[in-house]
Amino acid sequence: MTTQATTFNTDLPKQRTIPDLLAGQKALVTGANSGIGRAVAIGLARAGAEVAVNYVVGEEEANKVVAEIEAAGGRAHAIYADVSNEDDVKAMTAKAIEAMGTLDILVPNAGLQRDAAAAEMTLEQWNKVISVNLTGQFLCIREAVKEFVRRGVRADVSVAAGKIVCMSSVHEVIPWAGHINYAASKGGVHMMMQSLAQELAPQRIRVNAIGPGAIRTPINTEAWNTPEAYTDLMRLVPYKRIGEPEDIANAAVFLASDMADYITGITLFVDGGMTCYPGFATGG
Ligand code: NAD
| Averaged pLDDT for residues 115-141 | 98
31 CA distance to ligand 1 middle (Å)? 6
- Each residue's pLDDT tens digit, 232-255: 999 999 999 999 999 999 999 999
User: Among 38, 112, 233, which residue has the most ligand 1 atoms within 8 Å of its CB, making it the best to mutate?
Assistant: 112
Architecture of domain 3-273: 3-Layer(aba) Sandwich (3.40)
Q: Distance (Å, rounded) from C-alpha 235 to C-alpha 47?
A: 34
pLDDT band at 96, cuts 50/70/90?
Answer: very high
Q: Distance (Å, rounded) from C-alpha 154 to C-alpha 249?
A: 24
Which atom of ligand 1 lies closest to the CA of 248? Answer: 30
Query: Cβ distance 146 to 129 under 8 Å?
Result: no
CB of 272 sitting under 6 A from ligand 1: no
Nearest-CA residue for ligand 1 atom 32 is: 111
pLDDT band at 4, cuts 50/70/90?
Answer: very low
Secondary structure of the chain: what % helix, strand, coil (to 5)? Answer: 45, 15, 40
CB of 222 sitting under 6 A from ligand 1: no
pLDDT band at 15, cuts 50/70/90?
Answer: low
| Averaged pLDDT for residues 210-217 | 98
Residue 19 has pLDDT above 80, yes or no: no
User: pLDDT value at position 55?
Assistant: 98
271 CA distance to ligand 1 middle (Å)? 16
List the one residue out of 165, 139, 137, 140 whose CA is nearest residue 25: 165
Amino acid at 251: A
- Each residue's pLDDT tens digit, 173-185: 999 999 999 999 9
CB of 181 sitting under 6 A from ligand 1: no
Q: Distance (Å, rounded) from C-alpha 277 to C-alpha 165?
A: 25
- Each residue's pLDDT tens digit, 64-91: 999 999 999 999 999 999 999 999 999 9
Which atom of ligand 1 lies closest to the CA of 245? Answer: 26
Please report the beta strands in 102-240, taking only residues with DSSP state E, as ranges in sequence order.
105-107, 162-167, 205-212
Question: Active-site residue numbers?
Answer: 182
User: Among 64, 172, 185, 219, which residue has the most ligand 1 atoms within 8 Å of its CB, making it the best to mutate?
Assistant: 219
Which atom of ligand 1 lies closest to the CA of 110? Answer: 7
User: Among 36, 133, 215, which residue has the most ligand 1 atoms within 8 Å of its CB, making it the best to mutate?
Assistant: 36
Residue 31 has pLDDT above 70, yes or no: yes
Which atom of ligand 1 lies closest to the CA of 216? Answer: 41
User: pLDDT value at position 215?
Assistant: 98
Strand partners, 106: 28, 164
| Residue 40 DSSP class | H
Helices (H), 47-179: 59-71, 86-100, 123-130, 136-151
**Per-domain residue ranges for the chain?**
3-273
Element housing 44 (H / E)? helix 35-46
Query: Cβ distance 220 to 171 under 8 Å?
Result: no
The residue length of the chain stands at: 284
CB of 33 sitting under 6 A from ligand 1: yes
CB of 137 sitting under 6 A from ligand 1: no
Query: Cβ distance 203 to 246 under 8 Å?
Result: no
User: pLDDT value at position 11?
Assistant: 57
List the one residue out of 76, 249, 256, 250 whose CA is nearest residue 158: 256
Number of Cβ within a 10 Å radius of residue 19 = 9
Indicate the pTM of the whole model.
0.95
